[in-house]
Structure 1
Amino acid sequence: MAIQMTINARDDAQILDNPGYGVPIKIFTTDIDADAIEQLKKVARLQFIHSHVAVMPDVHLGIGATVGSVIPTKNAIIPAAVGVDIGCGMNAVRLGLNASQLPDDLRRIRSDIERKVPVGFALHKQVKAKASTLSPLDKRLNTIIAKHPGLKRMLKNFDQTWQKQLGTLGGGNHFIELCVDEQAQVWVMLHSGSRGLGNCIGTYFIELAKKEAQHRFGHVPDKDLSYFAEGSASFDDYVEAVHWAQDYAYENRREMMQLVLEAIRPHFPPFQLSKEAVNCHHNYVQQEQHFGENVFVTRKGAIRAATDELGIIPGSMGTKSYIVRGKGNPESFCSCSHGAGRKMSRSKAKRLFTPDDLSLQTQGIECRKDGGVVDEIPAAYKDIDQVMANQTDLVEVVHTLKQVLCVKG
């Protein structure tokens, strides 16, 4: 479905003493609340926004910037728009297995995955990643720490922790799933990011941007939209650090996928992996060309959906997920949604729902059904079918997945 709503942020820009500035906000849904619209307007009024702000169908209010927004900037980057879960994203691979080969009782498989992959705040007892993975990351990180030694004080047992967290899940909405597609083929799908150190990098540079309060492009309507201007030392340092965290997140998912496969292989006959595999970010920034300009594109809860590019759009636990192929829609800056999107806060979900509700809504799925994950109940999320219907101009569905097992942090 095409753009359903366009808002011109210039119409009331004078409220913020910034007359004459404001780009359109192009929204691929009508399911958006007033607070998210006001948050988007603040971003759209920044003088360094290129062309327009694109808003995906899973949009909802975020911290700093709106989740589900795609923000193209010229000569500046907003650290809070990238956020603290830098490089958070998805990894999925199809196995050479049929649903008929799944055991009737999946509890042992879930237990073995949870033993193999630390969840929540846990980390490996020993470093699991190979030296060929760690060495280049370590070298680049040392360069970053030399310029910003305060980062090292933000993470307990710094060197051991970031290395031992490679191949770990984390908490919140991060997950590991076994899924079955429309052809009864089995997939492994997981969702995680840059763990503790990525959080530290995001937090550190967000606060640095607020402290420096660079004003090359004029007034900033919200301290959370503090930015680094290209040409400043902090801009260069942030780009270096955020790219490190994004690479770390990618390697974390790759390492975790190998551990999950090790955990499940004893439960199945020998199988090979399909060439159908995807590893993509949905909280990140990178340079791209759009509408004739080289810009920094920040995707805050959105994935890249360039022409023929594969991506992953997960639903909530208990609903469908999708492997998609991008259509390269220029109005979305070649982007699409990163999931269903929350329709209520975690605290509200905990007030409204009980473990019994969770058990009912995840019937038939091997997963936790206790109060610790009630905030992840499907009813706390938007309808994934409607989210997908709103972005038929952005992606086409390649595979529809339904989970049969879900590991949560």
Structure 2
Amino acid sequence: MARNVASLPFVYKHVALMPDVHLGKGALVGSVLATHDAIIPAAVGVDVGCGMGAMQMPFGADQLDGRLKKIRQDIEAMIPVGFNDNKEVEKAVYNWQGWNHFKELHRGVQHLETKALKQMGSLGGGNHFIELCVDTQNQVWLMLHSGSRNIGNMLAQNHIKTARELARLARTQLPDPDLAYFVAGTSEFADYWRDLQWAQDYARFNRQVMMDRFKQIVEKHVAGGKPTKPLLVVNCHHNYAEKEMHYDREVYVTRKGAVRARTEDYGIIPGSMGAKSYIVKGKGNAESYCSCSHGAGRLMSRSAAKRQFDVDDVIRQTDGIECRKDAGVIDEIPAAYKPIETVMQNQADLVEIVATLRQLVCVKG
């Protein structure tokens, strides 16, 4: 699959693979590719702008004693998960500047404005999650994983369909149909790039809205509802594309399951539910296009995990964590993922570890 991508004439230099790399659609999850004058919509994927948010709070772990179950219940009550959306739209969401450009987006999503409005500030399903963590210094952290929800998915699907149709009409020979691409300077490229940036902004703000609610929940239980100032805030994509300079040339960089890791960048690398997670700072490794892994990476498919494990395994592997322990999360069991410690050892040249976290509460999508 990596060779297929690298064989395309517009791929710049090389394809970089992260230590959590695994199978994906078109391109490997955990890969970074730089391109000149072209972009592959399916390589970016359909969960546009998917990424992580984290916040270091000025609280100690002892201040959470006896409060974990109620914090989890409040998270589940205030932040919709799965296919659910918000019943009421808050002022901050209405005021997001991105709505001013909604009418410019692909005509195939114009009927979704109300849905997109109500989903802003919701988690989604799959491997998306909200976690309350503590680090090795017993400092409290808030962490979550989410993307651009249904609107990002539908924008991507519309453009992927267009790219495939263009390849068919032009009789373009591709090693994989999912590597259909747009050429810079065409209207199709311009339309996709516009919608991609919009969806990435939506995803980033979506995480911010949820993080603000999460922060208020924890402050309610720990600080009597008094607002506090976080010690560090991180909000980073790991499924996206941007224009960047690499090897003295401006190129389009697509990170499919990878985090930007320039020397000034903070990143978040979560382990599986029940494993360690890491706050990192980039080392600016040029060969990786200044990137690092976005997590542990799956060791087995969701269906394989469901065949191999049961609820008792979930209970055993998530011992000590306030979370769901039912058949609905078997596919997210820690054993379905690669050991995060090994992944971190394999990217010591890409990032330095700032904080090591362990989960106390986990709410799955």
How many equivalent residue pairs?
A: 363
Which stretches in structure 2 are left out of the alignment for 5+ residues? none
Q: What is residue 317 of structure 1 aligned with on the other side?
A: 273
Counterpart for residue 27 of structure 1: none
Q: Which residue of 2 aligns with 1:109?
A: 71
1:233-382 aligned within 5 A: 233-269=187-223, 270=226, 272-382=228-338
Contact 2:93–2:117 under 8 Å retained in 1: no
For structure 1, which segment, 330-339 or 285-294, has the greater mean C-alpha deviation from structure 2 after superposition? 285-294
Gaps of 5+ in 1: 1-38
Give the aligned partner of residue 7 of structure 1.
none
Partner of 1:98: 60
Q: Give the aligned partner of residue 34 of structure 2.
A: 72
- CA drift at 1:160: 1.5
- Within 5 Å, give how 1:85-164 maps onto structure 2: 85-104=47-66, 106-130=68-92, 133-134=95-96, 136-144=97-105, 148-153=106-111, 158-164=112-118
Q: Normalised by the size of structure 1, how large is the TM-score?
A: 0.86
* One of 153, 158, 161 as aligned partner of 1:204: 158
Which digits, 9 at most, give the CA deviation of each residue in 1:198-251, with x for residues without a partner?
Answer: 010111111110011189996321110000000110000000000000000000
Q: Closer, same or farther in 2 for the Cα pair 1:129/1:91, shift >3 Å?
A: farther
Distance 1:237 1:212 in 2: 14
Tell whether the 8 Å contact from 2:320 to 2:360 is kept in structure 1 after alignment: yes
SS of the residue corresponding to residue 298 of structure 2 reads: coil
Q: Which amino acid aligns with 1:141?
A: F
CA deviation profile, 1:28-74 (whole Å, cap 9, x unmatched): xxxxxxxxxxx111001000000000000000000121100001000
Q: What displacement does 1:129 show?
A: 4.6
Look up the equivalent residue of 2:103 and give its one-letter code. Answer: N
Alignment partners' CA distance in 1, 2:168 and 2:43: 16
Structure-1 residue corresponding to 2:4: 42
1:95·1:271 contact (CA, 8 Å) conserved in 2? Answer: no
Cα distance in 1, alignment partners of residues 108 and 113 from structure 2: 14
* Correspondent of 2:354 among 398, 403, 406: 398
**Distance across 1 between alignment mates of 2:141 and 2:17:** 29
1:123–1:165 CA contact under 8 A, matched in 2: yes
Contact 1:167–1:252 under 8 Å retained in 2:
yes
- 98-107 or 192-201: bigger deviation: 98-107
Distance 1:131 1:196, change over 3 A: closer
Structure 1 residues 243 and 103: alpha-carbon distance in aligned structure 2, compared to 1, 3 A threshold: same
The answer to whether the Cα contact below 8 Å between 1:210 and 1:226 also exists between their aligned partners in 2 is yes
Aligned 1:2-13 pairs, distance under 5 A: none
Partner Cα distance (1:129, 1:65) in 2? 39
Secondary structure at the counterpart of residue 267 of structure 2: strand
Shift of 1:85: 0.3
Deviation at 1:159, TM superposition (A): 2.1
Alpha-carbon separation, structure 1, partners of 2:123 and 2:91: 14
**Conserved 8 A contact 2:61-2:140:** yes
Query: RMSD value over aligned CA atoms?
Result: 1.5
Distance 1:381 1:217, change over 3 A: same
Q: Is 1:55 the counterpart of 2:17 in the alignment?
A: yes
Cα distance in structure 1, aligned partners of 2:25 and 2:91: 32
**Distance of aligned partners of 1:368 and 1:272 in 2 relative to their CA distance in 1, 3 Å threshold:** same
1:81-138 CA-to-partner distances (Å, cap 9, x unmatched) read: 000000000000011100011123521110111000000000000112526643x211
Give SS of 1:63's match.
coil
| 8 Å contact from structure 1 (residues 97, 271) kept in 2 | no
Per-residue Cα deviation, 1:329-363 (whole angstroms, up to 9, x for no partner): 00000000000000110010011000110110000
CA 1:219 to 1:293, structure 2 compared with 1: closer, same or farther past 3 Å?
Answer: farther
Q: Compute the TM-score of the two structures, normalised by the length of structure 2.
A: 0.97
Cα pair 2:134 2:140 within 8 Å, conserved: yes
